[in-house]
Structure 1
Amino acid sequence: MDLTLAELSRTIDPAELGRRLRTARVAAGMTQAQVAADDITAAYLSRIEDGQRRPEAGLLERMATRMGVTLEDLLLDVSRDKVNELRLALDYAELSLASGEGTAALQAVDVLVADPALESVPSLLRAARQVRAGALENTGDLDGAILLLEDLTANPSPDASWLKALIALSRCYRESGDFPRAIGVGEQARKMIEDLGIDGLTEAIQLTVTTAGAYHAQGDTDQAMRVCMRALEAAEKHESLVGKASAYWNASIVEASRGATQAAIDLARKALTLFEMGDDHRNLARLRSTVANLHLLQDPPEPEATLEILSTLEREMNWSSASAWDISYLHLLRGRAHLLLGDHEAAEEAAERVMETKPTGAPTHEAQSHVLKGRVAFTRGDHDTARQHFQAGVHALTAAGADRDAAQLWFELADLLADVGDHEGALQAFRSAGASTGLRLPTRVGTTLPRG
């Protein structure tokens, strides 16, 4: 039974419920004894219809079934046809989002939410708001998605819907650069999840994995790996294939950041095999991106293998709920692969596509696009143009938060600026790299060290 309907059955005005019950019984041509059956007496049903008693949800649902109506018909102040209309509109918005059409999904769900009748169907209202949050994230409006998801997760409930909203909230915090909050979402929910008895749900395991990803983005790879192992243990215990795949995937990312590329590839392939057995197309696409990037990190790199994976990935993204971030990252990987193969024109075209498809306010993607263009110019011997792009990358990256990925990009920019002779810019970029990992210079009290 829908938890929202169960709650509504406990709070609905007894007189209104009694009136609806009597109307449904008369319309069905049934006596009170026929509707009551063996559950209660006809006299007790009479008191319910008079508004003197409020039946529990299970009893009410059984009586509704006998009368040929639904529990929603008795509890909701809208007609069945209207509920079906609202549900159809929600299905369309969900399908648009699953197809990666974030703008279309947002337009459809905004029309739905504006319908006053939706307020009378709490379960559909919540689902519509969750779709809207997903559409906002898909179109790059992370702040809007976060505000909505914070409301959706404010009241814990023992169901997958609440867990999915927590996962999305943590992910949006992480993508916006707010790693402490991204971590806090998962860690603070752990006890509540155990108390609610839903720690065995796949979504609960996926939330643990999402928390590991936030630790990794913050630069705490040791804790990230420990949380991945905790998720893997839970997945094994509860026989969750998706949970196991998610844990392998994030462990792969951690190993890659430690420089253990082959171990990362092995873990990613385990995750890929498991994801291919399911229907989570969005995460399957993101995992393929991870594997494609790992081939570029091999020594020596394998750009041909990367391009082959990206071709498959692009086809999948055409009908999955790929976000602007996912699509932009695909073009970035493609550009890097083409650069390694010496196809400068294709690399530049891919860099342009990164800028065209990146989400709003994505400084690292903008910086990486400039780095790619600068590398192409440098390879051609045009050091002045390369320097301009590297400096533009520095300008874009100043808007990024402090995390491991930003530190890596700062470090790369420092090396590239040194190559084109901008030693002052290189020094500043090295300092920014240190700052992004939490390193700070001590305050200087004097100009000389104290003598003993």
Structure 2
Amino acid sequence: MPGPGNVGERVRNLRLTRRLSQAQLAGHDLSDSYISLIESGKRTPTPAVLRLLAERLGCTPEYLAEGIEPEQRAHLEVRERHARFSLIIDDAEAALAAFDDVLARSDDAELIGRARWGRARSLEALHRTEAAISLYEDVREQAERDPTRTSWLPVVIALARCYHSVGDLGQSISLAERALDRLAEFGLHMGAEYAETGRILLLAYTERSDSERAHELGRRLFQDDEPDSVTVAAAYQSASEEALLHGAVGDAFFFADRAISVGFQGRSTRIEAQLQLAGARALLRGVPSYTATDSPAAAQALALLRKAAPELTGADSVECALETARALVLLGEPEQAIGAVDALSEPNGAGPGSDLRFIQARLVLAQARLAQDDQEAALTVLRSLAGRLDALADSRSAAHVFRELGELYEAAGDGTGATVAYRRALEAAGLRPAARPRRAACDVTA
């Protein structure tokens, strides 16, 4: 529990508990009259004085200043985060209890603000909408009173949603339109807030039989394709900068936090997709066959690749398409594999690795031709790579390419081509044949 009263009362209570006089607490650094002024609330000690008093009273400066020890504060901070998680998993009852606990035990203004906001959201989730509106209105009043500390936007959207829920369409539309104008002021035309505000307005316009405004809004909301997380995060960042220029510091903080959150979620999703791609590659390398099989590993790899594909971009996307074609060959679908590889016949631009990706695509095409029992077509594809292969610098990736090339030549019946490719694989890996020793001049016979 927070310590009783204000700073002065906590200083006095601890002094009496320690059986110290004001003069003893003051010591040589302060005066007993100054201690008296602090205890009566007529003076606020500076941070340096707080540290000095805390040392003599056997507590922390944080306890004197705020009535709560750092460890207690940390526990409450964690408790508040757990409450937010309960909301995410739709356990509003647990969230409400946790937020109430934080409010009862904390006197930190920032933590109390977050807990009050969470409590309002919990009440709304429990369909105690009137109580939620009352609390949201208090938060809105605070945001309007001090826009440098609190964002006005999310609470107005929440109120618009709640007023719509209780059937007050006029108030709901008024608030939602103000929120949409605010978003437009900061140049934000995407993201969760934009979508939620638009949803509320569309419902309210429709229920009020205002089809003209509903249609016009619908055209604005659905004119573009759904943006990816990178685009949305960048839009939030831009809105944060714009809000800062307008002096709306609370909104600037809010948009900056949203940019970080959306960006992290997008990055987390991409990392998961990259993990699925790596898993698929490992599975496919365990099926070294160029003929159709019913391999469970290939089927599992294909499922992973199809799940990962929408989240991958750039070189990862190209690699995903290549591995998908490999899986299709192994699962007896060479025609589909050829279609997938043909789209990669010329990789995007001349960026890093573009030649290597082109070669890998052609190797998969040769693999598909072999799966169709067309050895001549496979050899034609492989021999067409000669110029590209000569340009490859020695590396581990090049060694893998030459090894795969050798396997394909061997499967197509070209032993000479396979031998040359295997030798180049060794050289690319740094294993060159030792030079033959020269004969000494004296060994040469006439």
Indicate the TM-score class for this superposition, using the shorter chain for normalisation.
Answer: 0.3 to 0.5
* Structure label with greater radius of gyration: 2
TM-score by length of 1: 0.38
Q: Which has the higher contact order (CA 8 A, sep 6+)?
A: 1
